[in-house]
């Protein structure tokens, strides 16, 4: 897994002063699994700090948001739900905090009861 992360790039798109990170790799369609790697911190820390927030609605779609930009998360809801609902490879509609203590869901874009 660390080898896959080492071959992954964090592409950054700046939106209203927020660095929105996107995992880019040709090595695997399972980008969402890379957040579990020990090497994930080394990939995102230089530009996003640590810990970070992550949304991974499908296995091949991951956004990384700096921890201090949590207000930006609300702007991602429509994209997350569209990807989650239209993909045959759903992962989660939750917002994940990824840090030294692991991965934990801190909220969800999914309607209640789903």
pLDDT band, residue 35 (cuts 50/70/90)? very high
User: For the whole prediction, is pTM greater than 0.75?
Assistant: yes
Type and span of the H or E element at 82: helix 77-86
By three-state DSSP, how is residue 39 classified? coil
CA distances from 95 to 7, 27, 62, 107 (A): 25, 25, 11, 5
Return d(Cα 110, Cα 14) in angstroms, integer.
Answer: 26
Domain range annotation of the chain? 2-108
Average pLDDT rounded to a whole number, residues 20-43: 91
Q: What digits encode the pLDDT tens for the residues 53-87?
A: 999 999 999 999 999 999 999 999 999 999 999 98
Phi-psi region of 24 (alpha: psi -120 to 50; beta: other; left: phi over 0): beta
Cβ proximity of 29 and 59 under 8 Å:
yes
pLDDT of residue 113: 61
């Amino acid at each position: 897994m660390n080898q896959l992360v080492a071959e992954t790039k964090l592409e950054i798109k700046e939106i209203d002063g927020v660095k929105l990170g996107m995992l880019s790799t040709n090595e695997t369609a399972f980008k969402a699994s890379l957040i579990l790697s020990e090497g994930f911190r080394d990939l995102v820390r230089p530009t996003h700090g640590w810990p970070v927030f992550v949304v991974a609605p499908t296995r091949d779609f991951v956004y990384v948001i700096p921890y201090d930009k949590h207000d930006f998360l609300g702007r991602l809801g429509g994209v997350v739900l569209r990807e989650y609902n239209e993909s045959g490879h759903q992962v989660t509609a939750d917002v994940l905090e990824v840090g030294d203590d692991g991965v934990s869901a801190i909220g969800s874009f999914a309607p209640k009861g789903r």
